[in-house]
Amino acid sequence: MRKQNHQTVYPLGPALEFLEQLWELNHALEKLSAQMAREIGVTAQQRLIIRCLGRYPGLAAGSISSLLHVDPVTISAALRRLENKCLVE
């Protein structure tokens, strides 16, 4: 017996299919980030911050926040964790 996929049984339509694909991408990124944290001690988000600082040394937290479209409090907390690990100054 051939197994039907959920799209055949429960078609979502273009808008919801797009949102489903975004969810799948987000899930994959979160999974990769957790793996990076286990293996190298830095999440994907923290790595992105480090790379931004590597490209633009001295970049202020507010500028990183604007650049990455992330709340300033989130960036400040991430920078504090990176400072505690001696990965940024």
Question: 21-70: per-residue pLDDT in tens?
Answer: 999 999 999 999 999 999 999 999 999 999 999 999 999 999 999 999 99
Q: Is the pLDDT of residue 1 over 60?
A: no
Stated pTM of the model: 0.72
Q: Is the pLDDT of residue 4 over 80?
A: no
Average pLDDT over residues 84-88: 94
Q: Which residues contact 78 (CB under 8 A, 6 or more apart)?
A: 45, 46, 49
Least confident among 6-20, 56-70, 72-86: 6-20
For residue 47, which of 12, 8, 86, 82 has the smallest C-alpha distance? 82
